[in-house]
Amino acid sequence: MKIMICLISIIFCLTSHLWADLQADQSQINRFRERIEVEINEAIDVTKLLSRGIQLDCCSRITNNKVQVYATPYEQELIKNMGLKVSVNPVRIGKNSRDASYHTYNTLTQELQRLANKYPSIAHLSSLGKTVEGREMWCMKISDNANEDEAEPKFKYISSMHGDEVVGKELMVYLIRSLLDDYGQDDRITKLVNRTQIFIVPSMNPDGTERHSRYNANWIDLNRNFPDVENDKNSDPKGRAIETQNVMKFIAKHNFALSINFHGGAVVVNYPWDTKSGNPPYVQLVKHLSLGYSKRNVPMFNSTSFPQGIINGYDWYEVDGGMQDWNYHWRQTLELTVELSNQKWPDASDLGKLWKDNEESLLWYMSQTHQGIHGTILDSETNAPIKATVKVQGVEKQCSSTETHGDFYRVLLPGRYNLTFSAPGYASKTITEVEVQDTSFSPTVLNVKLSAN
C-alpha cells in the first residue's frame, strides 16, 4: 500500500511539474482546455477557482449555482478536489434556417466585397492583415469620401476576437448594410457618414470562428494577449499573436475618438478597467456612454443580473491583457466591451431581434463622436498642421492632434473647460472657459495656432 501511495505521489508531482512548465506557453495549455460546467456551493467558490488560475467563462451568467469555465484535465481534477461537481458543457452552435444563417468566412468576404463594389464612393474594403491560417481580417471604412483620409473624427467597431462569440460579427454586417443602403435616405445616417470616418471590423478572429473555437489557430486567447496596463512597461506588438499585432498596428495608424469591441455570453456593457480595481479616468463620461448604450437596448437595461445593464469590468471579473484596457491606457481611445447575447452562438433566427435590440444603441454611440470639442492645431506662421497634445483641465486622459491635418477630437460632457495645447518646439497655449453643449452633431469648434519657440 505504501509503495502504491508513493507511486501515486510521484506521478502527481511529475504531472504537476509538467503543467507548471506548460504555464510558460499559455497557448499550449489552451490546447487541452475544454469548456465545462462547475456546480458551486457558495459565492466564495468562484474566488477559489480564480485563485487556482482557472479560466472562468465569466460572460455566462451564474445560474442555478453553476458557472462555465475553461479547464485542462489537470485543472478539472483540481476543481473536483475542491469538492465541486464538473461536467463537460461545450458552446452550443446555433442552427441556420431557411430565412436566416450565419456567414462563413467565404460568404462574409463575398458580402463585404459586394457592398464595397456597390457603394465605391462611401465604402472602402481593406484588410488589417492575414491570420495564422491566411484569412484576411476585413475592415470596412464608411465615409462620404471613403478613399481619402479627411479631417474628420475616426470611430471603430470591432467584433468576435473570441471566435465562438459571433453575434457581433453578424450585427456588424447588419450595420454596414444599414449605413450604406440608407445613406442619402435617413438624415441621421447621412450625417454620420458625411461627418465621420467609420471603421468596422466584423471578425477579428475568423480562424477561431471557422473552428467554432474561442482561441485563434495557435490556441491563443486574443483578449488576454494585448499589452497589460499593470504588467507591461511598453506597448510592443512584437511576440504577440499575429491577429493582435495586426490590430495594434492598425490602431496606431489612426486617432480613434471612440470604440467598442463586441463579445457574447451575457447582455451587458462592460467598462474599464478590466485588469485593476478603481474607476477609470473621466469615469463620468465612461458611465454616461455605457448607460447611453444600455438604456437604448431594453433587454440590456432591464437586466436582472447587471443593474441598468452596465458593470465595471474588474468588479465583474479580472481580465489581464485585454484589448479594452489597452485602447484606453496606451492609445487614449475610450473603448467599451459590449456583451450582446446570453448564448454565444444562438440560432440564426434570433439575429433579427438582436439587431433591433442594438440598432439604436449602435447609431447613438457612433454619434457621440461629435459630442465635445473639435478643431485644428496649426503653425501660426506657416499654417502647417502640428501634432500636438490636448490636455483638458480636470480630465486625466489627454488626446492628440493628427500629423496629417492637425485635427483633434475630444469627447466631453456638457460644461465649461480649460484646454492646454502643447507640442515640441512650440509655446504652449491655454484657452479657458470653453463651453460644450449637449447638441447633436454640433460640437464646439476650437481652432488653435501655436507659435514656434
Q: Supply the residues annotated as catalytic.
A: 339
The whole-angstrom separation of Cα 149 and Cα 138 is: 18
C-alpha cell at 327: 485602447
Diameter of the chain by CA atoms? 91
Nearest to 286 by CA among 320, 260, 250, 247: 260
The whole-angstrom separation of Cα 204 and Cα 162 is: 8
Strands 407-411 and 415-422: unpaired
Quickly count: other Cβ atoms within 10 Å of residue 310's Cβ.
24
Nearest to 199 by CA among 260, 110, 117: 260
Q: Determine contact, residues 310/301, Cβ cutoff 8 Å.
A: no
For helices 351-367 and 283-295, the axis angle rounded to 10 degrees is 140
C-alpha cell at 178: 444599414
Rg (CA), the chain: 24
- Please list, in sequence order, all residues whose beta carbon lies within 8 angstroms of the beta carbon of residue 225, skipping any fewer than 6 positions away: 240, 241, 244, 321
> Which backbone phi and psi does 266 adopt, to 5 degrees?
-160, 180
The whole-angstrom separation of Cα 260 and Cα 158 is: 7
Order across the sheet with 136-142: list the strands. Answer: 123-130, 136-142, 197-201, 154-159, 256-263, 334-341, 266-271, 310-312
**Burial status of residue 244 (CB atoms within 10 A of its CB: 0-12, 13-18, 19 or more):** buried
Tell the residue number behind the cell numbers 435590440, with chain if given. Answer: 357
The whole-angstrom separation of Cα 42 and Cα 318 is: 19
